[in-house]
Amino acid sequence: MHIATATPAWAMLAYLVAGICFILALRGLSSPASSRKGNRYGMAGMTLAVGTTLITHMNVGIIEIAIAIGIGAVIGLVTARRIAMTDMPQLVAAFHSLVGLAAVLVAAAAYLNPQAFGIVDAAGQIFTVSRIEMGLGIAIGAITFSGSVIAFLKLNGNMSGTPIMLPGRHLINIGTLAAIIGLIGYFLTDQSPWIFWTVTALSFVIGFLLIIPIGGADMPVVVSMLNSYSGWAAAAMGFTLQNTAMIITGALVGSSGAILSYIMCKAMNRSFISVIAGGFGAAPEAGSGGAAKVDRPWKRGSADDAAFLMSQAEQVIIVPGYGMAVAQAQHALREMGDLLKKEGVRVKYAIHPVAGRMPGHMNVLLAEANVPYDEVFELEDINGEFAQTDVAFVIGANDVTNPAAKTDKSSPIYGMPVLDVEKAKTVLFVKRSMGGVGYAGVDNDVFYMDQTMMLLADAKKMVDDICKALQH
């Protein structure tokens, strides 16, 4: 029985409604205030799309499909309940890898049994257009899979966040990509197995090569770009499966991920083309990384000192970073903000576009802690206020507050817009110790400035102690 069958009119209408739900989901996710509604639209659209597909393919191993869905649902539920918010970036990267692998498996299944997919002519040859779809799907899917695996390993700490520079990497990448494109072109005239599997193997390799040169500071853009790749891979396989819902969903994910990556690249002063090429924001001669300069003079403060300084301030800007996420300090931070507001202090939160390990990471954590949306500001909306701010309270954010990005051309983060915390009258910097550096491996001059007071402790414990001091 062929998988590719004529789609009934009611199914086309259902896919259209599902597509509208996906568009409404993207619109809802554009703002923290409407994000929950956006998630509900996305869930409704996916349920409708999957349900319609199953109903229109009742004669294609429905029992096996139901078992597979059940197993996947159990794994998804268990993972969602157990995963910590700090591990969400790794989870997103892992999900992207699964989408890419699914595209590879679908393309391989279509190649090995094209009759079941209804993509062969009378002579038993795969249609030319299907070969194009298959070649693009397996190439993009394999790149997404291997690239996402490397991103996962870097985010999870199994692999160093430092850029890994292979000698002649640009020539290797260009040569590999040219070989993939050339072989896909040759595949249109010859469907020999060696061509198909060589494209597959080279695509896995280039995904690996594109991601390993990218440093930790740029990882949020990588996650966004891989999200785009996974969408395009799904869209390509949607054509092979002749499934309208997959084409719509994949195109939406691919285009929205690409747009988000472009916006983030502009926010980081990076080239969008260099994101796709791999290795952006990284230079082998970068000399600012390495161990922290602990021999420089710095001032240490206590929770009582911080509580006093902030309670006497007119405005406090809180800058959260990945260290806050690791310590799960967002709830204590919101309590501190509430206590300061009772003292008549204006409290605002400054969010850098790439704070954390994925786009919107800090927004999600603050929303989880019920921080009011109108107190949360993006970099471009609040950066001008630091010069008129009494206290900048930095909790676990290093690279996104590092002025070296503006002054040190040898720094791997040079050119990236940062939050101007050093312009505040007082900077309170929460950090575990002076011996560590940020994810990009760059020391921060703010630590050693006259107006900076270092609060060395676990972020949650420090904020809890500050809350106790404010209450007394």
d(CA 219, CA 354): 8
Tokens of 191: 């469907």
Instruction: Return the exposure string of 344-361: e unless at least 16 CB atoms fall within 10 Å of the residue's CB, then b.
Output: ebebbbbbbbbbbbbbbb
Q: Which of these is catalytic: 218, 399, 420, 443?
A: 399
Listed in sequence order, the residues at least 6 apart from 145 whose beta carbon sits closer than 8 Å to its beta carbon are 97, 100, 101, 104, 204, 207
How far apart CA 143 and CA 254 sit, in angstroms, is 14
Instruction: Determine the Cα–Cα distance for residues 461 and 399; give it in Å rounded to an integer.
Output: 22
Question: Rounded to whole angstroms, how far apart are CA atoms 469 and 472?
Answer: 5
Asked if 365 contacts 459 with a C-beta cutoff of 8 angstroms, the reply is no
Please tell me whether residue 322 adopts helix, strand or coil conformation. helix
Q: How far apart are CA 166 and CA 241, in angstroms?
A: 38
User: Which of 277, 123, 126 is closest to 191 using CA atoms?
Assistant: 126
Mode of pairing for the β-strands spanning 426-431 and 452-456: parallel
Beta bridge partners of 343: none
Q: How far apart are the first and last CA of the chain?
A: 75
- Tell me whether residue 308 is exposed, middle or buried, using C-beta atoms within 10 angstroms of its C-beta: 0 to 12, 13 to 18, 19 or more: middle
371-389 core/surface letters (b: 16 or more CB in 10 A; e: else): beeeebeebeebbebbeeb
420 is catalytic: no
Contact 385, 348 (CB under 8 A): yes
Q: Cα 332 from chain centroid?
A: 25
In one letter, which amino acid is 445? D
Q: Is the CB of residue 207 less than 8 Å from the CB of residue 147? A: yes
Q: Which residues are catalytic?
A: 399
